[in-house]
Amino acid sequence: MNCKYIITGFLLAVTLPVSAQLGEELHNFSVGVNMGMNQNNVSFTPTIKQKGLVGYSGGLTARYISEKYFSMICGVQAELNYSQRGWEELIDTNTDTYSRTMDYIELPFLAHLAFGKMHGTQFFINMGPQIAFLLNEKEHKSAQWNPDERPNNVDNKEYGMMADKNFDYGLLGGAGLEIKTGIGNFLLEGRYYFGLADFYNSTKTDVFEKSAHTTVSVRFSYLFDITK
């Protein structure tokens, strides 16, 4: 698989000066596991004041490295992950606390670009689309719950209002370091997810015009090579 087609297919916003010459072919297939933590928010319109909701993520990773083009190593990566998303509200008018945990199965499809030694330390970038499916959601309210004490201009219609849509999609980007050893590959990565789909209906007659996830995550992965 030619590196320029990987970049074109998965990184539409990036243009690289790649000629038609084929780089050094590689056939490195790796599989493994990943785990990490998310800091989640939801982009609401009208706005809801929030502080980041911390959740967990983890799953399976499969990666295929196909080519080395000069100093750039090119490949593709797919994952199957469980991820906790949602939001936690910032309520400064009384002692109420409220958060919503939303559990998703995620499937990222990523271009993998790395720079460094083939058998040492590499800096890498992962970018591409992600789809997800909502499994369940749960509200968490404080024992003392007095939403009627909020100012009159605050609309609390999200309470008890479950998601209308279970399918989510958006764009995912990350960067990190990989250390290759004789017992496997160890990766530390930071990621940002920008949701393009609303989980509430968003017509003119609905409560929210926008309700899309944003997530910042830190994750650790372990991969072992099946083929080199």
pLDDT per residue of the chain (228 residues) written in tens, 0 to 9: 555 555 555 444 444 444 444 567 878 999 999 999 999 999 999 999 999 999 999 999 999 998 888 789 999 999 999 999 999 999 988 889 999 999 999 999 999 999 988 788 999 999 999 999 999 999 999 998 988 877 765 678 899 999 999 999 999 999 999 999 999 999 999 999 999 999 999 998 999 999 999 999 999 999 999 997
Cα–Cα distance, 157 to 49 (Å, whole number): 14
pTM, to two decimals: 0.86
Cα–Cα distance, 161 to 149 (Å, whole number): 20
Tell me whether strands 184-195 and 98-116 are parallel, antiparallel or unpaired.
unpaired
Angle at 103 (CA atoms; ends 101, 107), nearest 5 degrees:
140
Most distant pair of Cα atoms in the chain: their distance: 68
Contacts of 192 (CB under 8 A, 6+ apart): 172, 173, 174, 214, 215, 216, 217
Contact 113, 104 (CB under 8 A): no
Contact 115, 71 (CB under 8 A): yes
Contacts of 135 (CB under 8 A, 6+ apart): 103, 104, 105
